Amino acid sequence: MIKSRVLHLMGIGESLVEEKVRDLIHTQANPTLAPLAGCGEVRLRITAKAEDDAQADSRISPLEAEIRRRLGDFIVGADAQQIENTVSHMLRESGLTLAVAESCSGGLISHRLTNIPGASDYLVAGLVCYSNPAKTALLGVKEETFAAHGAVSEAVALEMAEGVRKRLKADIGLSTTGIAGPTGGRPAKPVGLVYIAVSSVAKKVCEEHRFRGERESIKHQTANAAFNLLRKVLESGLLSQ
């Protein structure tokens, strides 16, 4: 029989992952190790040939343990467990609630969360606030913030996250704003520029990303990066301090 285990990694590029495990890729015969990449994540597939399931697991486990030792901070799930499943578990365990305000990701974050049974335990609401007037009316983003920084900016992302958290009385606010393309970009703010923010009473953080690809790919990369940012801040414990 042939059995595989797939580890999902985020926050690290494919080339750096390959550098970290190059020796394992080239020296392993059974199991084998193969890197795969797409939509803002890297996957490492461990494949073993064995007589039965138990023997396959015994061959996969030592290699998986070594990969986790080297890259554990970037591993967000395994096999069917995607990053939204990991974040869902963390939110449920922490008892914290989440409200989401999406612009360029177009509701994809909320869609993926609500595909998980029991999301109502922690997800208060998800809003798609695409236009500037909607961001002002629903989230309280100041018109002067748009004038000074533009809709695709750290300042707007932070006000979106803060606004959705406060207005929906959630513990955490998560927001996205960016340019998914193919039009709308310019030299200072090209297609693929995205800001993702997280807000709690104790902590506010924003990340800038510059994604590549078609519109749909940029939306998926944005959602993945948003989940990963939320995972990191939940893991740090900073949101509840």
| CATH number, domain with residue 96 | 3.90.950.20
CA distances from 129 to 12, 15, 107, 118, 191 (A): 30, 36, 9, 25, 19
Q: Are residues 68 and 90 in the same domain?
A: no
Confidence (pLDDT) at 240 = 60
Is residue 88 within 8 A of residue 63, CB to CB? The reply is: no
Confidence (pLDDT) at 50 = 92
Helix, strand, coil: what percent of the chain each, to 5? 45, 25, 30
Q: Are residues 132 and 199 in the same domain?
A: yes
**Structure-token match 């902590």, residue found:** 203
Question: What values do phi and psi take at 141, rounded to 5?
Answer: -65, 130
Looking at the chain, the whole-number percentage of residues with pLDDT higher than 90 is: 91
Confidence (pLDDT) at 28 = 84
Confidence at 241, pLDDT banded by 50, 70, 90: low
CATH code, domain carrying 65 = 3.30.70.2860
Q: Are residues 50 and 131 in the same domain?
A: no
Q: Are residues 110 and 143 in the same domain?
A: yes
Q: Are residues 225 and 163 in the same domain?
A: yes
Q: Are residues 107 and 199 in the same domain?
A: yes
Q: Are residues 52 and 90 in the same domain?
A: no
Confidence at 237, pLDDT banded by 50, 70, 90: confident
Bridge partner list, 81 = none
Confidence (pLDDT) at 103 = 98
Q: Which domain holds residue 38?
A: 2-78
Q: Are residues 130 and 204 in the same domain?
A: yes
Which of 11, 43, 78 represents a domain boundary (last residue)? 78
pLDDT digits (tens, 9 = 90+) for 15-24: 999 999 999 9
pLDDT digits (tens, 9 = 90+) for 138-193: 999 999 999 999 999 999 999 999 999 999 999 999 999 999 999 998 999 999 99
pLDDT digits (tens, 9 = 90+) for 106-150: 999 999 999 999 999 999 999 999 999 999 999 999 999 999 999
Q: Are residues 170 and 220 in the same domain?
A: yes
- CA separation for the pair 226, 109 (Å, rounded): 8
Q: Are residues 62 and 94 in the same domain?
A: no
Structure token digits, residue 208: 């800038």
Confidence (pLDDT) at 38 = 82
Q: Are residues 212 and 234 in the same domain?
A: yes
Q: Are residues 101 and 177 in the same domain?
A: yes
Confidence at 239, pLDDT banded by 50, 70, 90: low
Quote the number of domains for the chain.
2
pLDDT digits (tens, 9 = 90+) for 206-225: 999 999 999 999 999 999 99
Which has the closest alpha carbon to 129: 169, 165, 175, 166? 175
Confidence (pLDDT) at 40 = 82
pLDDT digits (tens, 9 = 90+) for 43-73: 999 999 999 999 999 999 999 999 999 999 9
Which of 56, 78, 100 represents a domain boundary (last residue)? 78
Confidence (pLDDT) at 39 = 81
Which of 53, 78, 103 represents a domain boundary (last residue)? 78
| Residue 12: exposure state from Cβ atoms within 10 A (0-12, 13-18, ≥19) | middle
Confidence (pLDDT) at 166 = 98
CA distances from 38 to 33, 111, 123, 218, 221 (A): 17, 20, 27, 11, 9
